[in-house]
């Protein structure tokens, strides 16, 4: 089943009680229960993607076998008969066939990497089958006499030894990562009743499962709501989940409610879809059954996908490489310009060259973003409590120019290349106290925090479409959010590249709101 479209959850803007403009900034954090705080305060390691691990294992197998085959060829065959393209071609063909056979034998599973006997027996059988297949093809194609038998035997045994050594190392690494919790899918259950209890029991009954149930959440306070579900404690109400997931790593939210509770589920989803996590509905107790292909499975537990975390697995690797490589090159190219801007800022007015501001990062994480100082130092506004307007007296002469041309943003390349808390492309990070008139942005736009499901960027889809600069009416912040959500749902490396290439032109033609 396809995940629901996130943009469909973005309703009309809601009004909220306004705070006085001069009220000091106090971070709004929902109070969690003692049980939830106990989980939140535990040290949690960053997760590793099983999909990426198995993909790297495939690549290592191919490279390892190719290196072994070529090493034996160069060391033994080539000194005797000279160079021939036949051997390298056969080596590559054997390496490819081995990876294909390992895949067919279902060797590439993180759970299997943890064991020893099963993966070794399958790997030895598959490697032997590849060589028997190769020998058979060579015989029927009548070029077996051209192949050195000693090379063939050495390739088989040395290749097998290299594979066994690699698997032992991989087994040690995977077991270490498992102990650190890097391979766990940290899961919370919504529904603290008999359905939730059955679900937790079904998840815990599975061997080699990567599901780690942190606890359950439920709004009900009557007899249906259990304090524990099969040993999993109740951690709070559904409204607590967003704050909980921002203070500790949560990978999966699993609803134990029946599909018939449609109204309750939709109300909860409107609160939870802003999180960068997978959200699924458990179907293990539902009487209504769909085709098997409609489900995704957690072991043997059928689930229906609702929302998927954006930019994960190999997509995340590609975006990380794009940011580090292209961001590093962009930083090197921008250094002369940055030096000139720094000199101009220093000569224009007293004070530091750089300005640091707290902004929203991924999943509402607070990050330090660096810019060239564009205001007089004594009038700096690190919390962005007052919007910069046209002809703002706080802005310096040089500041007006670098804000208009976005040259003040160039130091954020250091965030991209070194800190890693910014991307080149993504939703722009807003100040934590950014306001529309007297309302914070998340009070002005329902679903505002959904733009934080990915890492923020120096430039973005909203910016190249003209939605940058001063936010003085509801349409401007609404449009920013809409364009940011479109970017998140349609992300690709090519999309990032297009936005990046269009940014210089948009800075020249769509800067009427930048003051």
Question: Quick one: pLDDT band at residue 511, thresholds 50, 70, 90?
Answer: low
Three-point CA angle 183, 185, 186, nearest 5°: 120
106 phi-psi bin (left φ>0, alpha ψ -120 to 50, beta other): left
Distance CA 355, CA 408 (A): 9
Q: Does any domain span residue 8?
A: no
Q: Does any domain span residue 44?
A: no
238, 190 Cβ separation under 8 angstroms = yes
Q: Kindly report which listed range (12-16, 81-85, 122-126) carries the lowest average pLDDT score.
A: 12-16
Residues 231 and 299 in one domain: yes
What is the CATH classification number for the domain harbouring 203? 3.40.50.720
pLDDT at 169 over 80: yes
pLDDT at 359 over 60: yes
Residues 325 and 287 in one domain: no
Distance CA 386, CA 380 (A): 10
Place of tokens 């509402």: 364
**Residue 246, CA atoms < 13 Å, CB-side half-sphere:** 24
The predicted structure's pLDDT at residue 22:
40
Residues 365 and 455 in one domain: yes
235, 213 Cβ separation under 8 angstroms = no
Three-point CA angle 81, 152, 131, nearest 5°: 140
Q: What is the CA radius of gyration of the chain?
A: 28
Domain termination site, one of 290, 309, 328: 309
Q: Does any domain span residue 141?
A: yes
Residues 301 and 190 in one domain: yes
Place of tokens 């490279």: 63
The predicted structure's pLDDT at residue 1:
41
Sorted by sequence, the CB contacts under 8 Å of residue 207 that are 6+ apart come out as none
Residues 397 and 423 in one domain: yes
pLDDT at 455 over 60: yes
Distance CA 187, CA 190 (A): 10
The predicted structure's pLDDT at residue 13:
28
Domain around 421 = 314-509
The predicted structure's pLDDT at residue 222:
64
Q: Does any domain span residue 20?
A: no
Query: pLDDT, tens digit, for every residue of 383-423?
Result: 666 667 777 788 888 888 888 888 889 999 999 999 889 99
Domain count, the chain: 3
127, 94 Cβ separation under 8 angstroms = no
Question: Nearest-CA neighbor of 191 among 237, 231, 223?
Answer: 237
Pairing of β 228-229 and β 232-236: antiparallel
Distance CA 396, CA 515 (A): 11
Rounded to two decimals, what is the model's pTM? 0.84
The predicted structure's pLDDT at residue 12:
31
222, 249 Cβ separation under 8 angstroms = no
381 — phi, psi (to 5°)? -130, 80
Distance CA 172, CA 115 (A): 10
Name the average pLDDT for the chain.
84
Specify which of 14-23, 31-40, 70-79 reaches the highest per-range mean pLDDT: 31-40
pLDDT at 4 over 50: no
Question: Quick one: pLDDT band at residue 5, thresholds 50, 70, 90?
Answer: very low
Query: pLDDT, tens digit, for every residue of 303-335?
Result: 888 999 999 999 999 999 999 999 999 999 999
CB atoms within 10 A of CB 287: 8
Q: Does any domain span residue 45?
A: no
Four-residue CA torsion sign, 71, 72, 77, 79: positive
Residues 121 and 150 in one domain: yes
Domain termination site, one of 180, 203, 233: 180
The predicted structure's pLDDT at residue 358:
87
**Residue 366, CA atoms < 13 Å, CB-side half-sphere:** 11
Which helix (H) or strand (E) segment holds residue 424: the answer is strand 423-425
Query: pLDDT, tens digit, for every residue of 493-504?
Result: 999 999 999 998
Distance CA 477, CA 466 (A): 12
Higher pLDDT, 186 or 16: 186
Residues 339 and 486 in one domain: yes
Burial of 43 (0-12, 13-18, 19+ CB in 10 A): exposed
Residues 305 and 323 in one domain: no
User: Rounded to an integer, what is the distance from CA 181 to the centroid of its chain?
Assistant: 17
Q: Does any domain span residue 515?
A: no
Q: Does any domain span residue 149?
A: yes
Structure tokens at 497: 């590249």
Please compute the mean of the pLDDT values over residues 102-128 and round it to a whole number: 88
- H helices of 181-276, in order, are 194-204, 241-247, 262-272
The predicted structure's pLDDT at residue 444:
80
Residues 211 and 88 in one domain: no
47 phi-psi bin (left φ>0, alpha ψ -120 to 50, beta other): beta
Residues 301 and 319 in one domain: no
Report which DSSP code applies to 379: G
Q: Does any domain span residue 426?
A: yes
The predicted structure's pLDDT at residue 145:
57
Residues 220 and 152 in one domain: no
Residues 172 and 190 in one domain: no
The predicted structure's pLDDT at residue 513:
60
Question: Nearest-CA neighbor of 65 among 134, 158, 138?
Answer: 158
pLDDT at 208 over 80: no
Domain termination site, one of 269, 293, 309: 309
Distance CA 186, CA 180 (A): 13
């Amino acid at each position: 089943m396809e995940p629901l479209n996130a943009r469909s959850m973005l309703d009309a803007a809601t009004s909220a009680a306004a705070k006085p403009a001069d009220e000091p900034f106090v971070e709004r954090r929902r109070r969690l229960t003692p049980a939830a705080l106990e989980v939140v305060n535990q040290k949690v390691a960053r997760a590793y993607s099983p999909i990426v691990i198995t993909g790297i294992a495939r690549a290592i197998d191919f490279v390892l076998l190719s290196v072994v085959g070529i090493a034996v060829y160069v060391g033994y065959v080539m000194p005797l008969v000279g160079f021939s393209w036949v051997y390298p071609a056969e080596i590559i063909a054997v390496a490819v066939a081995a990876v294909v056979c390992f895949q067919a034998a279902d060797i590439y599973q993180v759970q299997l990497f943890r064991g020893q006997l099963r993966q070794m027996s399958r790997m030895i059988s598959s490697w032997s089958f590849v060589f028997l297949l190769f020998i058979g093809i060579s015989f029927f194609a009548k070029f077996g006499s051209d192949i050195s038998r000693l090379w063939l035997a050495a390739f088989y045994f040395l290749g097998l030894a290299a594979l066994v050594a690699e698997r032992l190392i991989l087994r040690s690494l995977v077991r270490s990562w498992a102990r650190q919790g890097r391979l766990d899918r940290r899961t919370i259950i919504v529904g603290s009743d008999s359905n939730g209890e059955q679900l937790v029991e079904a998840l815990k009954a599975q061997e080699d499962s990567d599901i780690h149930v942190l606890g359950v959440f439920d709004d009900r306070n009557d007899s249906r709501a259990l304090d524990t579900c099969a040993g999993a404690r109740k951690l709070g109400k559904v409204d607590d989940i967003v704050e909980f997931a921002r203070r500790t790593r949560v990978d999966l939210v699993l609803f134990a409610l029946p599909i018939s509770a449609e109204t309750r589920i939709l109300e909860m989803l409107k609160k939870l879809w802003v999180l960068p996590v997978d959200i699924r509905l458990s179907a293990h107790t539902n009487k209504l059954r769909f085709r098997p292909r409609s489900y995704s499975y957690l072991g043997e537990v059928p689930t229906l996908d609702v929302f998927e975390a954006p930019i994960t697995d190999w997509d995340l690797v590609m975006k990380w490489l794009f940011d580090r490589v292209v961001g590093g090159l962009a930083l090197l190219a921008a250094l002369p310009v940055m030096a000139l801007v720094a000199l101009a800022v220093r000569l224009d007015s007293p004070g530091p060259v750089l300005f640091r501001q707290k902004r929203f990062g991924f999943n509402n994480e607070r990050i330090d973003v660096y810019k060239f100082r564009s205001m007089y130092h004594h009038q700096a506004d690190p919390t962005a409590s007052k919007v910069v307007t046209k002809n703002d007296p706080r802005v310096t002469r040089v500041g007006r120019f670098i804000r208009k041309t976005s040259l003040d943003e160039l130091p954020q390349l250091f965030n991209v290349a070194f800190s890693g808390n910014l991307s080149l492309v993504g939703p722009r990070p807003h100040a934590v106290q950014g306001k529309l008139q007297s309302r914070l942005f998340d009070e002005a736009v329902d679903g505002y925090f959904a733009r934080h499901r990915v890492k923020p960027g120096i430039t973005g889809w909203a910016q190249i479409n003209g939605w940058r600069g001063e936010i003085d009416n509801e349409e401007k912040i609404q449009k920013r959010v809409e364009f940011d959500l479109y970017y998140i749902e349609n992300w690709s490396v090519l999309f990032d590249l297009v936005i990046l290439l269009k940014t210089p032109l948009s800075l020249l033609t769509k800067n009427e709101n930048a003051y």
